[in-house]
């Protein structure tokens, strides 16, 4: 292929190439998706969910870099975040339980933040529980007695947060890896775009399509 042919091919495909650049720039710094690989966030998230991630929820970055243009928000309790974890050497999706300065403890699966105890109400044959501590969410506690079901009071250091999975006793999170640096957060999970039942021939779970996360 001669130079003129290459030039002509490039010219003919320029709109498509520009579209790809814009698409990947958008995914790099504004929005992306995350495939849920495990049950650590059940019942909120299921294996096979594809989650929409707002990458500009906390920072706006130059596309394809870690250069922050500006801060756009602050990580808050209850947020579900995507973490590029150095300690775990993989990407995690967990819920923010406490932010810098908070005093946290867990006693037999009962959560305390700054001295206030969460209310737990059993649901669905005592597998799921509604947890209320400023916010409401449904968590899984199975088995009830787990090696990670308790820890003594800790204070979240500056620039970090404490994260746990909603499937409390079946989640590898801050109880294993320690406090999470805010710099490792890649975005906030906002909704389930679509979901495939991995255990049932990848049949679509239509009831989970376009559901907002809480």
Contact between 98 and 163 (Cβ < 8 Å): no
Give CA–CA dist 75/58, Å, rounded: 7
Catalytic residue positions, numbered? 40, 94
The encoded tokens of residue 208 equal 């989970």
**E strand map for 108-177:** 110-113, 116-117, 119-123, 128-132, 136-140, 151-155, 160-164
Give CA–CA dist 68/85, Å, rounded: 19
> Residue 92 class from Cβ within 10 Å (0-12 exposed, 13-18 middle, 19+ buried)?
buried
Contact between 137 and 131 (Cβ < 8 Å): yes
């Amino acid at each position: 292929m001669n130079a003129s042919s290459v030039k002509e091919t490039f010219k003919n495909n320029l709109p498509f190439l520009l579209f790809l650049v814009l698409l990947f720039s958008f995914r790099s710094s504004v929005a992306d998706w995350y495939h849920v690989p495990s049950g650590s966030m059940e019942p909120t998230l299921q294996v096979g969910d594809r989650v929409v991630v707002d990458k500009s929820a906390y920072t706006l970055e130059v596309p394809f870099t870690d250069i922050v243009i500006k801060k756009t928000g602050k990580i808050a309790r209850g947020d579900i975040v995507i973490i590029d974890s150095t300690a775990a050497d993989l990407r995690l999706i967990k819920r923010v339980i406490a932010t810098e300065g908070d005093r946290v403890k867990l006693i037999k699966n009962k959560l305390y933040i700054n001295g206030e105890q969460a209310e737990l109400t059993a649901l669905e044959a005592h597998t799921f529980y509604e947890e209320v501590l400023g916010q409401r969410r449904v968590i899984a506690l199975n088995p009830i007695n787990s090696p990670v079901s308790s820890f003594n009071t800790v204070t979240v250091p500056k620039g970090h947060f404490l994260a746990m999975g909603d499937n409390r006793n079946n989640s590898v999170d801050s109880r294993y890896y320690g406090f999470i640096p805010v710099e490792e957060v890649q975005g906030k999970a906002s909704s389930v775009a679509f979901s495939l039942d991995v255990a049932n021939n990848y049949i679509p779970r239509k009831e989970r399509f376009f559901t907002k996360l809480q």
